[in-house]
């Protein structure tokens, strides 16, 4: 099944000065990205709220960051999902002169790739974090191919990819490592640790949102039946802890705490039908606060039955 068209590149800011120290780089990168995007595209330079702006419908910043979900959307959302993911390579940094992350774009927004490159370049000029650490050396890679360098002023288009849902296979055990905090809520509370049904509900919702908002596609899948089957899969081992990430919201003018769970999870059961969906979640993140890099995981082991 074809799920989503997307772009995935690796971004490197080198010679960052002063070197960056941060307990979680995702909030810093997301803040710098939003600030740069608004500086470039907002004609009022942040003096006006998007809600009251008379030209917001034609504003690229508004389309990326502030677009309300349409009233006829089948999902309970106030805002449309962001068409990008900033996926940190190293979530925690200690006096690092290098900022590196994967950057993903979805669906029709891949056509605006050059706009986002301009925004990334602006991030290096404005600076990162409270010390406004700057970098004039931005490099963007498509796999091992250099497709942009701020010092050489070269520009090449990235590869357009298509995520295809694989066929199910026999699988009895899977282990997941959470590389950034995962926030899954149940009945208004953050779950520590999540059971398998909660993980899969988050995966299904994430992939359904991406397909609907960026491909105008409703997936013809019996998610209710799959979630019932997910109840039969057991959480047999886990290690980890609750993580609290602090950030300052310039829009709300207040300090906020983002909660999540970070660690390892091992599940056992009839998992084969879920593996293709888990690989989709591995690529596109799951849970809440994804625009801050939350919900990044990797499959450590796949215990296949013989």
Q: Are residues 227 and 135 in the same domain?
A: no
Q: Are residues 244 and 282 in the same domain?
A: yes
CA distance 107 to 161: 10
Q: Are residues 82 and 204 in the same domain?
A: no
Q: Are residues 104 and 192 in the same domain?
A: no
Q: Are residues 15 and 154 in the same domain?
A: yes
- 119-122 LR contacts (CB < 8 Å, sep 24+): 119/33, 119/36, 119/37, 119/40, 120/11, 120/33, 120/36, 121/150, 122/36, 122/39, 122/40
pLDDT per residue as tens digits for the range 64-91:
998 888 888 888 888 999 999 999 999 9
Q: Are residues 10 and 148 in the same domain?
A: yes
Q: Are residues 205 and 280 in the same domain?
A: yes
CATH of the domain at 231: 3.30.70.1900
**Residue 274 token pair:** 């879920």
From first to last of the 306 residues of the chain, give the pLDDT tens digit.
Answer: 889 999 999 999 999 999 999 999 999 999 999 999 999 999 887 667 888 888 899 999 999 998 888 888 888 888 999 999 999 999 999 999 999 999 999 999 999 999 999 999 999 999 998 899 999 999 999 999 999 999 887 899 999 999 999 888 899 999 999 999 999 998 888 899 999 999 999 999 999 999 999 999 999 999 999 999 999 999 999 999 999 998 876 666 678 889 999 999 999 999 999 999 999 999 999 999 999 999 999 998 765 554
User: Which residue in the block uniquely carries the two structure tokens 């105008």?
Assistant: 216
Q: Are residues 173 and 157 in the same domain?
A: no
pLDDT per residue as tens digits for the range 19-58:
999 999 999 999 999 999 999 999 887 667 888 888 899 9
pTM (two decimals): 0.93
User: Which residue in the block uniquely carries the two structure tokens 């050059």?
Assistant: 114
List CB contacts of 62: < 8 A, sequence separation 6 or more.
Answer: 50, 53, 56
Q: Are residues 81 and 199 in the same domain?
A: no
**Residue 266 token pair:** 């091992």
CA distance 292 to 282: 16
pLDDT per residue as tens digits for the range 112-130:
999 999 999 999 999 998 8
pLDDT of 152 reads 86
Do residues 141 and 8 make contact, with C-beta atoms less than 8 angstroms apart? no
Q: How many domains does the chain have?
A: 2
Q: Are residues 208 and 75 in the same domain?
A: no
Which of 161, 188, 223 delimits the end of a domain? 161
Q: Are residues 62 and 36 in the same domain?
A: yes
Which of 123, 141, 161 delimits the end of a domain? 161
Q: Are residues 131 and 242 in the same domain?
A: no
Q: Which domain, by its residues, includes 230?
A: 167-303
> Is omega for the bond preceding 18 within 30 degrees of 0, making it cis?
yes
């Amino acid at each position: 099944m074809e799920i989503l068209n997307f772009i995935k590149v690796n971004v490197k800011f080198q010679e960052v000065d002063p070197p960056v120290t941060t307990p979680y780089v995702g909030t810093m990168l997301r803040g710098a990205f939003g600030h740069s995007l608004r500086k470039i595209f907002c004609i009022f330079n942040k003096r006006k709220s998007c809600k009251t702006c008379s030209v917001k419908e034609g504003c690229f910043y508004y389309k990326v960051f502030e677009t309300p979900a349409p009233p006829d959307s089948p999902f309970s959302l106030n805002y449309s999902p962001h068409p990008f993911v900033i996926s940190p390579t190293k979530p925690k940094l200690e006096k690092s002169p290098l900022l590196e992350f994967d950057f993903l774009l979805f669906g029709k927004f891949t056509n605006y790739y050059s706009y986002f490159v301009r925004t990334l370049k602006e991030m290096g000029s404005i600076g990162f974090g409270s010390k406004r650490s700057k970098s004039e050396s931005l490099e963007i890679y498509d796999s091992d191919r250099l497709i942009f360098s701020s010092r050489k002023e070269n520009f090449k288009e990235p590869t357009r990819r298509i995520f295809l849902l694989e066929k199910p296979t026999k699988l009895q055990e899977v282990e997941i490592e959470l590389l950034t905090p995962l926030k899954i809520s149940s009945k208004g509370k953050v779950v520590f640790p999540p059971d398998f049904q909660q993980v899969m509900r988050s995966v299904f919702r994430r992939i359904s949102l991406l397909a609907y908002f960026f491909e105008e596609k409703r997936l013809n899948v019996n998610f209710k039946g799959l979630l019932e089957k997910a109840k039969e899969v057991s959480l047999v081992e886990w290690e980890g802890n609750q993580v609290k990430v602090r950030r300052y919201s310039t829009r709300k003018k207040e300090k906020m705490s983002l909660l999540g769970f970070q660690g390892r999870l091992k599940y056992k059961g009839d998992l084969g039908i879920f593996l293709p969906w888990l690989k989709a979640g591995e690529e596109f993140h799951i849970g809440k606060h994804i625009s801050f890099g939350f919900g990044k995981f990797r499959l450590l082991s796949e215990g296949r039955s013989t």
